[in-house]
Structure 1
Amino acid sequence: MTHHIVVTDHDFPDLSVETAALDGADVDLRGESARTPEAVIEAAEGADGLLVQYAEITPAVFEALPDLQAVGRYGIGVDSVDLDAATAHGVQVVNVPDYCIEEVPTHALALLLACIRKVPAYDRTIRDGTWDWTDGKPIHRLTGATLGVVGFGKLPRRLLELVAGFDLDVLVYDPYVDAGEIEAVGAEKVDLDDLLARAKYVSVHAPLTEETHHLLDAAAFERMREDAILVNTARGALVDVDALVDAVESEEIAGAGLDVLPEEPPDPTPPSDHEAIVYTPHVAWYSETSMETMRRTVAEDVLGILRGEPARNPVNDPDGGE
């Protein structure tokens, strides 16, 4: 039996990794450029498997593709896939939860250090012909400061390992993790208000849900310290970016490092050119190793499901549907 797997959309140079992962299987693999539900429906007619990077997979997609058995999301987050609709239609959704455990925490730390040490600002002034160490004043020491972590999955836990040598006091906000588990790694479980009031540096790692949308909003920035720096490598909509820009420009907080934004690419680019805000283009996940692992893993998982094998990285329970 030939399986029809459609890559709805991607920005990879080619599909050589997927082709190699599916080598030897009776698979028709097609790459498309479909990001809207309407385009996905048209491009994926007859598909029993989808590999999805940015496309929105809505209830209408599941209704229109009756042969669909599996949806593989390139990456960790699955907020672009309607999981309730997938479950109701008996479609297994999978992701790749472990592919960038080294990359994202490393990038979060890089953004934090860039903000603390004013690296981008110094680079710009030197390129403009100025050589003056005072251009970045004030710079404060990281060692011994208080770090607040919002969300406590695998990525922030690895971040704490990376910053262990800085002798930080660590606060964790995650209502779904027991205090004992947090205390076991030398951190303190707190509520969000307490974290925002006490932490000099805040790193965001929560998933995007209805509950966490704009978790960091204008009221949150009002509660933060004036010398606080916010880093977000999770999902753009966790942060109200307009409110963040206002907070930085009014010196309500000291700065921010953003790898993700609610709209990507943003319009305008960047949302603010304030020198205390450092941007990267949703690249925290990336290394050559992590990208190859992500693509191979999700392609193999979708193929396995189509062959009747259990999902390696299930996100939903399609047996709970109809």
Structure 2
Amino acid sequence: MTETIVVTDYDFPDLSIESSVLEDADVELRGEYARTPEEVIDTARGADALLVQYAEITEAVFEALPDVRAVGRYGIGVDSIDVDAAAAHGVPVVNVPDYCIEEVPTHTLGLLLACVRKIPKYDRAIKGGEWDWTAGKPIHRVTGATLGLVGFGKLPRRLIDLVEGFDLDVLVYDPYVDAEKIEAAGAEKVGLDDLLGRSRYVSIHAPLTDETRHLIDADALDRMREDAILVNTARGPLVDAEALFEAVEAGDIAGAGLDVLPEEPPSDPPLDHDAIVYTPHVAFYSEASEETMRRTVTEDVLGILRGEPPRNPVNDPVDGGD
């Protein structure tokens, strides 16, 4: 009997990688462009599994699509999927936790250096006919500064490796990681207030949960140094964007590098300010990482349909199910 995998939404040029994984399987692959739960329900009826990029998968989806036996998320974060509801319906959810270990830390460092060295500002000035090295003053030396990491998963640990040559003091706030593990990586475990007060550079790497939403709010920004630069390559809602823009405009912090925003794409252009560098949620991307992500999650979902245990589970349908 032919099974059906529905790709709820995607911004890839095609589904050739997924098709190549399923080439020898008795599986129909169907691509849709559904983002809301209602759109997913309307377009994925009869599906045995879902591959999800940005679509919101709520409890209502699992109620309406009882044939779904697996959900795969293109990426690391699963904040758009109700994983507890999936578990309660006996549905494993899988992600791809390791596909962009090189890309995100590299992009984070790129944003940080672009902010510190005022590279976008100089670029715009030269293209506008201006040649003035003083236009970016003041610029501070990177070497010997303090870097604060909010979250300490695989990506920030790799970032520590990348900045080794800059001789930075590294602080870490992560209540779920032991101090010994952080110290073994050459960093110091501290509280969030301490990190914000001491760090010239603050890089966000926490998952988005109810607990971490607006973790960096107006009060947190007020505790940061005036020469601080904030970089966010994790999830937009971790930072109160309006409070951040106000802090930058007021000169309360020196700048920000943002790969993520609370609304993507934003309905209104975000603050146009020389001290803020934006990229369009691209930190995950290289040709190699994209192929790995798509191939890995498709293979995992196919394996589940064949009765194999999930490789990268993020929930436990055995304990959570009926």
TM-score by length of 2: 0.99
**Distance across 2 between alignment mates of 1:79 and 1:26:** 31
**Distance across 1 between alignment mates of 2:231 and 2:286:** 20
Look up the SS of the partner of 2:177 in the other structure: coil
Match of residue 282 from structure 2: 283
- Once the two structures are TM-superposed, the CA of residue 268 in structure 1 deviates from its matched residue by 1.4
Match of residue 133 from structure 2: 133
1:292 and 2:298 correspond: no
Look up the SS of the partner of 2:297 in the other structure: helix
**Distance across 2 between alignment mates of 1:200 and 1:103:** 23
Match of residue 318 from structure 2: 319
**Distance across 2 between alignment mates of 1:53 and 1:182:** 32
Match of residue 207 from structure 1: 207
Indicate the RMSD between aligned Cα atoms, in angstroms. Answer: 0.5
- Once the two structures are TM-superposed, the CA of residue 51 in structure 1 deviates from its matched residue by 0.2
Q: How does 1:55-66 map to 2 (within 5 A)?
A: 55-66=55-66
Look up the SS of the partner of 1:202 in the other structure: strand
- Once the two structures are TM-superposed, the CA of residue 267 in structure 1 deviates from its matched residue by 2.4
Match of residue 103 from structure 1: 103
Q: How does 1:1-322 map to 2 (within 5 A)?
A: 1-269=1-269, 271-320=270-319, 321-322=321-322
Look up the SS of the partner of 1:297 in the other structure: helix
Counterpart of 2:301, as a letter, is V
Look up the SS of the partner of 1:141 in the other structure: coil
**Distance across 2 between alignment mates of 1:73 and 1:228:** 34
- Once the two structures are TM-superposed, the CA of residue 186 in structure 1 deviates from its matched residue by 1.1
Cα deviations by residue, 1:218-263 (Å, 9 ceiling, x for unpaired): 0001000000000000000000000000000000000000000010
Residue identity over aligned pairs, in percent, reads 77
Look up the SS of the partner of 1:14 in the other structure: coil
**Distance across 2 between alignment mates of 1:46 and 1:268:** 37
Counterpart of 1:294, as a letter, is M
Counterpart of 2:309, as a letter, is P
Counterpart of 2:163, as a letter, is V
Counterpart of 1:68, as a letter, is V
Look up the SS of the partner of 1:171 in the other structure: strand
Mind listing any 5+ residue stretches in structure 2 that lack a counterpart? none
Cα deviations by residue, 1:269-318 (Å, 9 ceiling, x for unpaired): 2x100110000000000000000000000000000001000000000001
- Once the two structures are TM-superposed, the CA of residue 112 in structure 1 deviates from its matched residue by 0.1
**Distance across 2 between alignment mates of 1:22 and 1:106:** 32
Mind listing any 5+ residue stretches in structure 1 that lack a counterpart? none
**Distance across 1 between alignment mates of 2:286 and 2:79:** 23
Counterpart of 2:249, as a letter, is E
Look up the SS of the partner of 1:302 in the other structure: helix
Number of matched pairs = 321
**Distance across 1 between alignment mates of 2:7 and 2:129:** 47
Cα deviations by residue, 1:78-106 (Å, 9 ceiling, x for unpaired): 00000111011000000000000000000
Look up the SS of the partner of 2:78 in the other structure: coil
Counterpart of 1:162, as a letter, is L
**Distance across 2 between alignment mates of 1:236 and 1:217:** 12
**Distance across 1 between alignment mates of 2:295 and 2:120:** 35
**Distance across 1 between alignment mates of 2:32 and 2:268:** 28
